[in-house]
Amino acid sequence: MDAKNTNIPELPPCPKAAIFLDFDGTLVDIAPTPDGIYIPDALPALLNDLQDRAGGALVLISGRAAGDLANWLPDYTGLIVGGHGAEWRRDGKLTPRVDLSPDSLDMLRDAASAFAGAQPPILLEEKPTGIVLHYRAQPDLQHTVETFTARLSQTHSDFEAHPAKMAVEMRPRGVGKDLAMAEIMAFDLFSGRTPVMIGDDTTDEPAMEWAQKQGGLGIKVGPGDTKARHRLPDTQAVHTLLKHWA
């Protein structure tokens, strides 16, 4: 389904909401490289205001490493879910949520590094719990990357391939933003609240769909097919929405 509605309905009051926010493409514009992003000056204060208004029930939930997000947003003290749920930073403590063999991860990285080295336009991003192969610099390499990662998911059974924007990610099996949200919503702080998930990528689709099934909201950022019932055009619109909400 391609959501047409760019008008966001009445949001639940912040004290009654459980707010889940993706990062790249949602809070910050996607850059040519993961390290090339720009953090808007007002974003850290906006997140702190929203977190206070929601009584702490605000979660940054991203494919990035949790430690990477913490470095980009050092003043944010709330829960960070990184690696699509593979690691959490809670109360300042970083905790892996999957049991990966270091040898398994090293072998995956070695295979991906050799592949990317033979295809210079492809950028290899290494994460604590997996890898991403970006083909943004040459979009016609999509099929090549998808074919390679499909083979990787067969030869490296701890991982599975997930398409993303101009990239394919190899992440641990059995993790997902929707699964992390379901676990978090059982916490006392979140219990009984209305989940609101805002994201932009295919990896956010299960989380937005899950929020809607719980009677909450899924809000898609930018173009593209989605099962979210609502849409915002860009990251600036997300900031405007959050500012009014807070």
Helix (H, G, I), strand (E, B) or coil at 202: helix
Lookup result for tokens 């609240």: 193
In degrees, rounded to 5, the angle at the alpha carbon of residue 64 between the alpha carbons of residues 139 and 241 is: 90
Report how far residue 11's alpha carbon sits from residue 236's, in angstroms, rounded to the nearest whole number: 18
In degrees, rounded to 5, the angle at the alpha carbon of residue 54 between the alpha carbons of residues 245 and 58 is: 100
Name the residues annotated as catalytic: 22
Query: To which H or E segment does residue 138 belong?
Result: none
- Structure tokens of 59? 């979660």
Closest by Cα among 240, 223, 150 to 2: 223
- Structure tokens of 67? 């430690």
Closest by Cα among 242, 232, 206, 190 to 84: 206
Helix (H, G, I), strand (E, B) or coil at 125: strand
